[in-house]
Each structure stands twice: as C-alpha cells, then as structure tokens.
Structure 1
Amino acid sequence: MMFLVIAVISTSIISTSLLPNESSHIPFLNDDNFLDWKDQILLTLGCMDLDLALRVDEPPEPTNESFAAKKNAYDKWERSNRLSLMLIKSHISQSIRGSISLSDKVKNYMRAIEKKFVSSDKALASNLMNKLSGMKHNNSKSA
C-alpha cells in the first residue's frame, strides 16, 4: 500500500513538473474542439520532449552490426512514438477513438485524426450551406 502511494505521488510530481503550467491541460477530443485539442497535444508533447516521432521520420531499425549511435537514435524515436500514441489515445473520447483507423505510428495516427475532423468540418459546412440556401425570407421586420 505504501508503494502505491509513493508511485502515485511520484507520477503526479513528474507529470506536473514536465508541463509548463496548468493552462496546458489537455482536454478530451470531442466533436467540436479538434484545433484546441491538437494545440494542447503538440504543446505537451513538445514540453515533455516526446514530439520526436512527429517531427522526424522513423529511422531504419538497427541491426546487430549497427553503430551505437544508430541504435540510440532508433530507441529515442521508438520511445517518442510509443509514449506519444499513449498520451494521444488517452485524451480521445471512446466514441471518437473507435472511428479512427488504428496505426502503430503516431504521425499516421495524427493524420487519421485530422482527416476525420477535416472531412466532418466539410460535411458540417455543406449541411449548413444547404440549410441556408433552402431558407426563405418572409419580409417581416424583427424588432
């Protein structure tokens, strides 16, 4: 029981010390906050130095003959990719998460999320334009 309390406290200290301030709280992604959510995700990943997998393409997987520097670069990229995916997925509501195609690469997963929200924004705009164009003005004056 003592171990659990220490683990919770240390996790809390680590997570709050890595984030710049309380304004960097990441909201859950829902149907109407994609841009804010994306900004907060990118800020948080950048502050935590976990955005490498979003900025750099995956390096070739090291072999037994690879130099230590190449192995280290791949390990850093793989860690960034894995932790970024975990953070992103943990801040998406279940109803949306199920509609996004799965990927083991954070860059591809973010593209899939963006594609879903860009297409849903276009559909919403089209729907609103159709409603607006179908409306009739009745010449009455409003007070």
Structure 2
Amino acid sequence: MAESVSFSVNNNNASIQILTRSNYKKWKRDVDFSLGIMDLDLCMCEDQPAALTDASTTAQRTLHAQWEKSNRLSLIAMKRSIPEHLLSGLPETTNAKEFLTNVGKLYDTGENVETGSLMDEIQTIKYDENKGVRDFVLKIVNIQSKLKDRKVPLLDSYIIHHALHALPASFSLIKTTYNTYNQTWSINDRISKCVVEENKLKKEKNESPHYVSQLKTNKGKG
C-alpha cells in the first residue's frame, strides 16, 4: 500500500497519498477531499482577494485573512505529500491553486506513459492457474476501468474476446462455444461460465491420477 501523510485541522483528520509517478489521479482526489474536509479549500474556489488598503472593510479584511490561511496551509499540505525529487521539478509559486495546476501539467506526459503501459499490460496478461480464472478476468476488467478513466474506452465485447483468447488450450470447449454460437455474454456471465469450466478441469485433473492408481492396483491383483 502506498504511503500517505496525515493532517488534522480543527479536529478534522485527513490524509493524502504520497505522490508518485503513477498515482496522480488518486493523489489529486486525496488533495481535493482533504482540503475540503478541513475547510481549507477557499483558495481553490476563489481568486486571491485584492490587497488590503486603509479603506478596506471588516468583511474584506476577514476574507483576506481566511484566504491567506487557506492558501498557506493548502501549499504546506500538498508539498508535504510530494517527495523532494519531484518538488524540484515544479515551478516556484506561492499560490496553492497555481501549484496544483503545475503538478497536473507535469503529469500530463506521465498519464500518456501510464496509458501505454496499461495497453501493454492488457495485451500480455497471463492466466495463473493458482490464482484462478476469476482473478484473471477481474485483472483485465480493472485495466479496462483504468483505461476508461484515461479516455481510452474498451468495449466489454473486446474484453470478453481478449480474455477468452488469452486462456490456455484447456479452455478450448468454452472458447468454441462462444465463437460458434456467437453468444452475447456480459462480464459476469463470462466469469461464471469460465469458473464452472475451470472447476470441471480441476476435477478431471484430480481424478486422473486416482484412475491410473486404481488401474495399477487392479493389474497387480491380477
């Protein structure tokens, strides 16, 4: 599990996951939630107030003080959740909203790299007999969901076809059934049918040594 930093303001507790090169979206959600629950998001919602003058009203002075506090603590919260080597690549600014925008710009390229990695992963993912077919399909669905978040939608029909194609030859019966009858399966249908087939294959595999053992025993008696 990724590390995080915790904060407490006015008896409200929150945490922000430490930013890495692959978790920007999660980090951004943590920032938005944490600043909101701690009532520190004024600087994110409103532009910096005009500089105070002798003619400024009490309301303007109050707003100015609240905005400055929100801005200062928001910057501290975000910077505490970013490793030093990543902070060094960001432009200097004392404005929290601008700082958050700069982090987003830095990770635009990172998002594209991650999208490419996810596409590679979905093409090379392998079925692990020890973990089972349910885990295998859910991993593919999880990648599909991540790609959808990155505006790269993959149809369920593609996911089902790809998952079937990636299964070993022992699943040939269910592959043939799908291809021959051109059936429309949902992801859940796909998982259920493959789990049934997997259990049948495991049962046959377990019964096979037992059958051979019986043949040897009977042969010995003869």
Name the TM-score, length of structure 2 as normaliser. 0.47
Distance 1:114 1:14, change over 3 A: closer
Residue matched to 1:95: 85
Counterpart of 1:105 (choices 92, 95, 119) is 95
Deviation of the 1:48 alpha carbon: 0.6
Residue matched to 2:12: 18
Question: Structure 1 or 2: larger strand share?
Answer: 2
Q: State how far apart, in whole Å, the 1-side matches of 2:66 and 2:101 are.
A: 21
2:21 maps to 1:27: no
Deviation of the 1:97 alpha carbon: 0.6
Q: Deviations over 1:107-131 (max 9, x none)?
A: 11000000000122235556888xx
Q: Which has the higher contact order (CA 8 A, sep 6+)?
A: 1
Residue matched to 2:61: 71
Distance 1:41 1:111, change over 3 A: same
Aligned residue-pair number: 118
Q: Name segments (4+ residues, structure 1) moved above 6 Å.
A: 126-129
Q: State the superposition RMSD in angstroms.
A: 2.7
Name the TM-score, length of structure 1 as normaliser. 0.72
Aligned-partner residue type, residue 87 of structure 2: R
Deviation of the 1:65 alpha carbon: 1.5
Larger Rg: 2
Aligned-partner residue type, residue 17 of structure 1: N
Which runs of structure 2 are paired with 1:106-125 in the superposition (5 Å)? 106-123=96-113, 125=115
Residue matched to 2:48: 58
2:35 maps to 1:45: yes
Aligned-partner residue type, residue 50 of structure 2: P
Percent identity, please: 28
Deviation of the 1:17 alpha carbon: 3.1
Gaps of 5+ in 1: 1-11, 130-141
